[in-house]
Amino acid sequence: MNVLPTFDQLMLPLLRLSADGEAHTLREAVTVLADYLRLSGPERDATLASGRRQFDDRVRGAVTYLRKALLLQRTGRGMFKITQRGLWVLSQSPAHIDTAYLKQFPEFEAYLIEARTRRDRDFDLLNRQTPRAQIDTSYENLRVDLAEDLLEKILGASPEFFEQLVIDLLLAMGYGGDDKTGYVLGRSGDGGVDGYIQEDKLGLDKIYVQAKRYARANAVGRPLVQAFVGSLMGLGAARGVFLTTSRFSDEALGYANDVKHAKIILIDGKRLTQLMIDHNVGVNVEKTYVIKAVDTDYFDVST
């Protein structure tokens, strides 16, 4: 039986796989690399304690590190392609690519520093906590990582996909009436409106939606929120939800709060991903742990 390669040992073969400049899927990469390494069926199917396949997890780790070093870039849901920097690296004919090699790129070094800082902070915190509190902290850290992954997935998707996602989220949150009805208007929509949730069967009451898939550094300013409010007025609507993957400027937040004739809810990227996790949109349950405690009533024999 072969020894499974570590994730960094997969980086160079993975980059070579991408050398054709085409977009590749993670599933394709797993299959091609497993064949290249001549892994047996049991080796491919070996799982971690979480139930995830070990080899798949290592390929995913290699993709993540290469993206953080900007040698690969995300092109869609579960898809990636090589960058100009990645092609340059291959032109240098490196004998191997590992973490030490990637440190020459400032973006990757910054990623490592951030990850190390958080890991050290969490380790110090865990050492001062009870076992139950440690579980709570670890759970919160998993939510943070999951939210980060969700945001990257959304930013790698199309604007049309994001518009449908926000409708799906609002429906999952309980909006849409008994029929759970929501519509994406797409390019044929009205002005600054991307869709709406129908609150009753007759469509007498609607919540209109605007979705902006912005890079994290680009804040949504007051003009866009004001244009959304103007669209609501033109539709005779009284309620609207504006969602973005980035954040809202202070001016935008202040304006939305001061609007008198309509109720405007602003949801930024951080809150968006937390709502997705809470309402199971774009996520699934990987593993469930049950924490048990002593049943004191069972042992109470005084009566």
Predicted pLDDT at 46:
82
Predicted pLDDT at 179:
61
Q: What is the pLDDT of residues 253-289, one digit of tens each?
A: 999 999 888 889 999 999 999 999 999 999 988 778 7
Which of 264, 197, 268 minimizes the C-alpha distance to 225? 264
Which of 206, 225, 209 minimizes the C-alpha distance to 168? 209
Strand pairing of 239-244 and 206-212? parallel
- What token pair was written down for 46? 């070996």
Last residue in a domain, options 97, 128, 159? 128
Q: What is the CATH number of the domain that holds 137?
A: 3.40.1350.10
Whether residue 53 is found in the same domain as residue 176: no
Residues of the chain with pLDDT under 50: 1, 188-190
For residue 2, being part of any structural domain is answered with no
64: containing domain? 8-128
Q: What is the CATH number of the domain that holds 89?
A: 1.10.10.10
Alpha carbon distance 21, 44 (integer Å): 27
For residue 3, being part of any structural domain is answered with no
Predicted pLDDT at 131:
66
Alpha carbon distance 161, 169 (integer Å): 12
- For the beta sheet containing 24-25, the strands, ordered from the edge strand earlier in sequence to the opposite edge, are 24-25, 79-82, 72-76
Q: What is the pLDDT of residues 28-41, one digit of tens each?
A: 999 999 888 888 88
Residues 6+ away with beta carbon under 8 Å from 21: 81, 82, 87
Whether residue 119 is found in the same domain as residue 138: no
DSSP 3-state assignment of 181? strand
Nearest 5 degrees, angle CA 14-CA 282-CA 80? 20
Q: 86 near 14, Cβ under 8 Å?
A: no
Predicted pLDDT at 190:
47
pTM above 0.75, yes or no: no
